[in-house]
């Protein structure tokens, strides 16, 4: 299935619902991950078609961020290089980078100690194409996150709050 890039947040919200996840009130991080994995297998129209571009990627991030009232976070992100915006005749034209972020925040509790001080704060971006390569990239990102005890603990902890956003980051 292909979806227009502008519909990303609506489609992801629908997928979350099918997985029993309310975007503003996550109770099951694993279910949210399942919805995210399903969403990542959808092809997106309007992104940079250049084969060597990093037009569609994912990253998992964790830590403590000032924009989240300095709370502990776990974020699932899909980044898109949107090509159908702006003046492509402009010699300096570049695709716009848009990120769909599903952020879950956590209260400080003993099993999450160290989530904000790990040497690694994310899985790194993965730009594999949809299908088996994306499935492998998702498995690798999950395994990379699970290597850290505080991240594993966040994965099985009910978030204090959660939210979904989709915005241009360039």
User: Considering the domain boundaries, does residue 81 fall inside one?
Assistant: yes
Query: In which domain, by residue range, is 63 found?
Result: 2-165
**Is 2 strand, coil or helix?**
strand
User: Considering the domain boundaries, does residue 16 fall inside one?
Assistant: yes
Residues 5-16 pLDDT 10s: 999 999 999 999
What pLDDT shows up at residue 66? 83
| Residues shown for the chain | 170
Give the pLDDT band (50/70/90) at residue 90: confident
User: Considering the domain boundaries, does residue 170 fall inside one?
Assistant: no
Distances in whole angstroms, Cα of residue 75 to Cα of each of 47, 70, 83, 108, 123: 22, 14, 25, 16, 11
User: Considering the domain boundaries, does residue 83 fall inside one?
Assistant: yes
Whether residue 87 is predicted with pLDDT greater than 80 in this model: the reply is no
Residues 92-102 pLDDT 10s: 878 889 999 99
The secondary structure of 79-131 as a DSSP string is EEEE-SSS-TTSTT--PEEEEEEEEEEE---GGGTTTTT-S--B---B-PPTT
Whether residue 159 is predicted with pLDDT greater than 90 in this model: the reply is yes
Q: Which of 110, 105, 116, 103 is nearest to 148 (CA)?
A: 116
User: Considering the domain boundaries, does residue 75 fall inside one?
Assistant: yes
Confidence (pTM): 0.94
What is the number of domains present in the chain? Answer: 1
**Is 20 strand, coil or helix?**
coil
What pLDDT shows up at residue 51? 65
Give the pLDDT band (50/70/90) at residue 67: confident
């Amino acid at each position: 299935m292909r979806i227009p890039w502008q519909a990303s947040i609506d489609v992801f919200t629908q997928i979350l619902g099918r997985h029993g996840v309310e975007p503003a009130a996550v109770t099951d991080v694993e279910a949210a991950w399942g919805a995210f994995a399903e969403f990542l297998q959808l092809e997106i129209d309007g992104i940079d078609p250049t084969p060597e571009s990093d037009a569609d990627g994912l990253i998992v991030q964790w830590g403590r961020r000032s924009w989240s009232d300095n709370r502990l976070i776990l974020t699932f992100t899909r980044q898109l290089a949107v090509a159908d915006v702006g003046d492509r005749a402009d010699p300096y034209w570049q695709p716009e980078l848009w990120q769909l972020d599903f952020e879950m925040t956590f209260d400080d509790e003993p099993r999450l100690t160290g989530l904000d001080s790990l040497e690694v704060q994310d899985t790194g971006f993965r730009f594999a194409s949809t299908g088996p390569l994306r499935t492998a990239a998702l498995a690798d990102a999950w395994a990379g996150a699970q290597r850290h005890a505080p991240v594993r603990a966040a994965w099985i902890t009910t978030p204090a709050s959660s939210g979904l956003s989709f915005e241009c980051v360039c």
